[in-house]
Amino acid sequence: MNETVPTAALATLTYREACRQALREALQADPRCILLGEDVGLYGGCYAVSKGLLEEFGPERVVDTPLAEAAITGIAIGAAMAGLRPILEIMTCNFSLLAMDQIVNNAATIPHMSGGQFQVPLVIRMATGGGRQLAAQHSHSLEGWYAHIPGLKILAPATVEDARHMLGAALRDPNPVLIFEHILLYATEDVPDPACTAVEIAHARIRRCGRDLTLVTYGNGLPKCLAAADELARQGLQAEVLDLRVLRPLDEAAIVESVSRTRRCVIVDEGWRSGSLAAEVAARLADAAFFELDAPIRRVCGREVPIPYPAHLETAALPQVAQIVAEASALVRRA
């Protein structure tokens, strides 16, 4: 007789540990796989994701690099072209600006410019987002910038399950994949489905069903939107929460399908509003589902300022649950 295991009996897993398990599994499964980056070895990673991997796999597989983002990204690209499967960790996405030329002009374009003769099966992991009082130079949300670039695939795991399994799928992709892990998610916990051993990296996912409006988000916007949906439910409004997960290529069909049913949409994006990923989602809805809308599309985005250091100002600069609830409630009441 099949028995359902009580949730309390299942082990919880943090987002950080899910990332570590994914790295360990990748290194175990393929001898071509190497992990490299600043402080990934002896220090165990800036956010302790790679802790213990140097001792397990040795310095030839887990490589501490100099503080030189352009150089180490170029090395990783060359290693990928030569047949290895490198995983490059860039501490935070703002440091990736120092490697922008390598990522945009080389990793993204070499397969095209070589006529398909060379592939770049490279995975770059980086922390993103604000909320830790790291001030203006270390709190960027730049995933929308990279989602603008053809030749790259952009992932934003928001759940423990995606953090655990997206890396494996990314390593199987023949082209460069960038994974953005929000810094506030590393300590979050969940009870993973023991039957889940892989995830696909092509589609968005509905995390909560609803009928009155759709909340479209990704990354750390997901727990905020789920909390907002709980509050809206207490007001008698049923919000659907759509987790984009994959920022390039966008799952436009899933966005249009959800909004066509609920007929209202609030997009939550920690990036700045001007030229944001939220703007792209809104534009695609205007193109493909304009006549399905019963109300204007609303966006809740980061304030148009460098992220402040003081905690209360940083909070004010980033999307919060109360803002999402207010925008969603006003949108439905207006209609």
Q: Kindly calculate the radius of gyration of the chain based on its CA atoms and give it in whole angstroms.
A: 20
Question: CB neighbours (10 Å) of residue 289?
Answer: 19
Q: Which residue in 244, 154, 164 sits closest to 198, CA to CA?
A: 164
Distance CA 328, CA 334 (A): 10
Distance CA 291, CA 223 (A): 30
Exposure class string for 209-221: b at 16+ Cβ within 10 A, else e: ebebbbbbbbbbb
Q: What letter represents residue 14's amino acid?
A: T
Task: Look at the block and give the residue holding tokens 């703007």.
Answer: 279
Task: Look at the block and give the residue holding tokens 């935070």.
Answer: 92
User: How far lies 63's CA from each of 3, 6, 33, 56, 259, in Å?
Assistant: 45, 41, 11, 12, 46
Q: What share of the chain is helix, strand, coil (3-state, %, to 5)?
A: 40, 20, 40
Q: Which residue in 42, 140, 38, 137 sits closest to 91, CA to CA?
A: 38
Q: What letter represents residue 161's amino acid?
A: E
Give the active site residues: 69, 138
